[in-house]
Amino acid sequence: MSALTEMESVVLSGLDVAWVEILERALSEDIGAGDITTEGSVPEGARCIAELVFEEPGVVCGVALATAVFRRLDHDVRIDVLVGDGAYVAEAHTVVARIEGRARAVVTGERVALNLIGRLSGIATATRRYVDAVEGTNTTILDTRKTTPGLRVLERYAVACGGGTNHRSGLYDAILIKENHIRIAGGVGEAIAAVRASQPGVPVEIEVESTAELDEALAAGAERILLDNMSPELVAACVERVAGRASLEASGGVTLETVRSFAETGVDAISIGALTHSVRSLDVSLEVA
């Protein structure tokens, strides 16, 4: 892949810079020095119309990024988006976008576009299921840092499209003291004191595994406490014990079948790594008319 031309940069300017970088890497990985199959079988001047099709129900996510793939390969391509990000497609074989342009560009960009929208829509769909499962409670569904390396910005976007809420972006924008930090620091209180001295004014969240550690975290003034790998019954006891003195997040071992029981404890948030590390991509296809 060559560097972006000025025109291509303008075409893609509606996307976040990080998105464009991911798109460029994905195209370079797939195309390399050129699509030798398409160059050999598709006439250079041929044009076509293709439809981006959801083959199963789910939440749409990544249409702009998928269609940007074709814009990168053919800046004169015409794209009609029929179903936008965040919308739920209820029927199989639903057309979400139509692409009209140079046939070589459409065929060459097909797999990258489908990989992106399929993966992101899978995450958005899984997130929507969890959000729907806790409807009527006051519990927020959060993502985690268990994302595909290099794709976090996209996968966090997909969680938001599914109705979830993004946790910290990385290690740089929030404090979350975990088990190994506590062990190295010498205890819950010591770890909280150390980060407060290092980062004064930044709210502290700490992971606890027992009511004893919970009490230590409260005594040290933690603003947010993560209840790690606790049963719904123990989470409920912790909610009662804290009585609003800190925000509580449950995490670890939560499934779609159990998430409602955790939410009904009154916990403020539930973080679920499976939203990004264990989802199945949605079945999406590109069909040339």
119 a catalytic residue:
no
Query: Is CATH 3.20.20.70 the classification given to domain 132-277?
Result: yes
98 a catalytic residue:
no
Phi-psi region of 283 (alpha: psi -120 to 50; beta: other; left: phi over 0): beta
Alpha helices in the chain (DSSP H): 6-11, 17-31, 36-41, 63-73, 103-133, 152-161, 179-185, 188-198, 211-219, 232-242, 259-263, 274-277
Q: 25, 47, 98, 111: which is the annotated catalytic residue? A: 111
- Give Cβ neighbours of residue 44 (< 8 Å, ≥ 6 apart): 104
Would you give per-residue pLDDT tens digits along the chain (289 residues)?
545 454 445 445 567 889 989 999 999 999 999 999 999 999 999 999 999 999 999 999 999 999 999 999 999 999 999 999 999 999 999 999 999 999 999 999 999 999 999 999 999 999 999 999 999 999 999 999 999 999 999 999 999 999 999 999 999 999 999 999 999 999 999 999 999 999 999 999 999 999 999 999 999 999 999 999 999 999 999 999 999 999 999 999 999 999 999 999 999 999 999 999 999 999 999 999 8
Q: 47, 129, 145, 146: which is the annotated catalytic residue? A: 146
Q: For the chain, give every domain's residue range.
A: 6-130+280-288, 132-277
30 a catalytic residue:
no
Query: Is CATH 3.30.70.20 the classification given to domain 6-130+280-288?
Result: no
143 a catalytic residue:
no
